[in-house]
Amino acid sequence: MTSLSRSEPAPQSLAPATSGGWTVVAAQELRDLWLSARGPIIVLVFSLLLSLLTYLAATNKELNIIDQKDTVNLVMQITLGIGVAVSLLFSADAVSGERERETLESLLLTPVPRRQIALGKLLAAASIWPVMVVVAIPYVWALKGGASLFANAVVAGFVVGSLLTAAFGSLGLIVSIFSNSNRLSLALTFFVFVVLLAPTQLPLSGWFGDLIVKINPVTAGSSFLDNVVVKGHGWGQESALLLAPVLAAIIATSVAFLIAGRLRLQRGIDR
């Protein structure tokens, strides 16, 4: 969506863009996302979903007896899943979308290093995550069983979600760099996300189940949240579960920026 030639055409404004070009790209992308209908509509639909869930939890006789810890955990897990998925889809559109709309050429001609273009786009795509956490906070507050549960749920959810957003946002960017078609990059990244998300809904047990939970960043993050919010375990006790999300975030962002430096007009990278 970014076209710096539209907003930053003057030669005198191009010079500083090379040093902080990512801020220009990020600002333009954020405007495109939040001042258009895309971002606001997604956030509004997300808030309606949480409203429905919260109302059902309070009025439905059988749902009402669920422990408040479980309800708070459910809200945070839904926020995590939707926030990461939407960030992933936006980042998967970052480069392949520009290619498809034939705006990538003008973006590459601007005097902004390609890694900074990628950084700006990744930050804008990831911006949906903190907004969703802010929207979820009133619901968690309404459902909370105590101040410590509220703080634990919000902080743990934010940390896990930020790591997963960094990992999956970078994955979306990598696929997008290699794809000419937006459909392909969106479908492929979403498929990977669903495959990694599916084990959170399976009754995993035994050594193989434990292994899947620990090495899959989504199941590890989800289990961490579950153990901290529902079981009341300490962060130190469950820190091993944060290893996979941390590693996934570091590896995926490193690969994304390595590849982004060689970004080219057609799909793939310069050799």
- Alpha carbons 176 and 96: distance in angstroms, whole number: 5
- Alpha carbons 117 and 48: distance in angstroms, whole number: 34
Residues 10-69 that bind other proteins (CB under 8 A): 35, 40-41, 43-44, 47-48, 50-51, 54-55, 57-59, 61-62, 64-68
Q: Is the Cβ of residue 62 or residue 102 nearer to other proteins in the bound state?
A: 62
Q: How far is the CB of 142 from other proteins (least distance, A)?
A: 4
Output phi, psi for 141, to 5 deg.
-65, -40
Cβ(153)–Cβ(68) below 8 Å? no
The reply to whether 270 sits near other proteins by the rule CB under 8 A is: no
Quote the DSSP letter at residue 263: B
263 beta partners: 269
The residue count for binding other proteins (CB under 8 A) is 29
Report the SS3 class of residue 269.
strand
Kindly tell me which residue out of 2, 28, 71, 170 binds other proteins, with binding defined by CB under 8 A: 71
Q: Is the Cβ of residue 50 or residue 104 nearer to other proteins in the bound state?
A: 50
Residues 122-161 that bind other proteins (CB under 8 A): 135, 138-139, 141-143, 145
- Tell me the CA distances in angstroms from 104 to 51, 213, 237, 240, one per residue in order: 39, 39, 47, 41
Contact positions toward other proteins, by CB under 8 A? 35, 40-41, 43-44, 47-48, 50-51, 54-55, 57-59, 61-62, 64-68, 71, 135, 138-139, 141-143, 145
